[in-house]
Structure 1
Amino acid sequence: MGDVVEKSLGDILNFRRGHDLPKSKVQKGNIPVAGSNGIIGYHNKETSIYPCITIGRSGNIGTPYIYNKCWAHNTVLYVDDFKGNDPEYLYYLLRTLPLSSFGGGSAVPTLNRNHIHPIKVKFYKKIQRQKKIVSILKSIDDKIELNRRINDNLIFN
């Protein structure tokens, strides 16, 4: 376990604010537009980082999502630098953090990247270990999704 280290979140990834996309500028396409609650539409361009990991920045704050490609809307923060770490490992790590508790604002909760970058986290620094953990967690997620589909089929058939 000697490869577990504690660093600030900003030392292992970098968040950036998403981009404005007024409805009048949306072009028909198949790239998901990632909002704070997940997919809010589709566009013909993507944010240039793959995969695209987002967390809600405004409204529904702190919930991580991962997409193969997406347009990161201005209601999210997205990872624009994985700093040599496995992106899927970072996604699973983000799922364990209480990011919503770092929000501010009274009427509409807002998450500022400068408030979450200093959070101290323990993580595996070796990429091989990160990939092994992702492999295990993805197999569990796949099983959960299969069970959900089986349950849906039983309920509606």
Structure 2
Amino acid sequence: MGKWKICELGNLIKFQRGHDLPKSKMVAGKYPVVGSNGIIGWHNEYTTEAPSITVGRSGNVGNPFIYYGRSWSHNTTLYIKEYKNTDPVFIYYFLKTLNLSNYAGGSAVPTLNRNHIHTLKVSVPETIEEQHNIGMFLKLFDDKIQQNIRINKNLYAD
């Protein structure tokens, strides 16, 4: 296991607030529209390059979601606009460990502010190679879990 470094989250990635897109303005297309709970529709344009990683900004606050293609990041999310010499798949799994919902503000509707989480002190592997290895290892487990779910559905389907 290699060395780890302590830095601010904003030194690893740059979050951007998602973009408004009312249902009435969605034009059927191949790009998923990702809201705070995951895919909420499909559109003919995208705002986020692959892989698209979002975090719930309002509503379902703090939960990371990854889509391995381009997407439209809805205004209920923060999306990663820039990876600063980091592995995206590692970053996705790493964000899942941070309990970002704890950093939400607001009383009636909790909201996550990117400026507040950019300053979080975190510890990550120093090299992108080690980040990549950790991310791929975790993704293999998730892929296997999804495969087993599909197999089980087929076994119990009528």
TM class by shorter chain equals: over 0.9
What corresponds to 1:138 in structure 2?
139
The answer on 1:99 being equivalent to 2:95 is: no
1:139-154 counterparts in 2 under 5 A? Answer: 139-154=140-155
What corresponds to 1:38 in structure 2?
38
CA drift of 1:69 comes to 1.2
> Tell me, what secondary structure is at the counterpart of 1:54?
strand
> Tell me, what secondary structure is at the counterpart of 1:15?
strand
**More displaced 10-residue stretch of structure 1: 12-21 or 104-113:** 104-113
What corresponds to 2:73 in structure 1?
72
CA drift of 1:155 comes to 3.0
The answer on 1:63 being equivalent to 2:102 is: no
The two structures have a TM-score, normalised by structure 1, of 0.94
What corresponds to 2:109 in structure 1?
108
Mapped to 2, the partners of 1:152 and 1:121 lie a distance apart of 39
**More displaced 10-residue stretch of structure 1: 85-94 or 146-155:** 146-155
The answer on 1:54 being equivalent to 2:44 is: no
Write out per-residue CA displacement over residues 47-98 of structure 1, whole angstroms, 9 at most, x where no aligned residue. 1432111000010001101111110010000000101111111111101111
CA drift of 1:5 comes to 0.5
Mapped to 2, the partners of 1:118 and 1:35 lie a distance apart of 24
Mapped to 2, the partners of 1:154 and 1:143 lie a distance apart of 16
What corresponds to 1:9 in structure 2?
9
Residue identity (%)? 55
For 2:22, give the aligned amino acid: P
Structure 1 unmatched runs, 5+:
none
The two structures have a TM-score, normalised by structure 2, of 0.93
Mapped to 2, the partners of 1:101 and 1:114 lie a distance apart of 14
Change in CA separation of 1:48 and 1:100 when aligned onto 2, cut-off 3 Å: closer
Write out per-residue CA displacement over residues 5-37 of structure 1, whole angstroms, 9 at most, x where no aligned residue. 011111110101001112332222010000000
Structure 2 unmatched runs, 5+:
none
Kept in 1, the 8 Å contact 2:48–2:79? The answer is no
> Tell me, what secondary structure is at the counterpart of 2:45?
coil
> Tell me, what secondary structure is at the counterpart of 2:6?
strand
> Tell me, what secondary structure is at the counterpart of 1:49?
coil
CA drift of 1:149 comes to 1.7
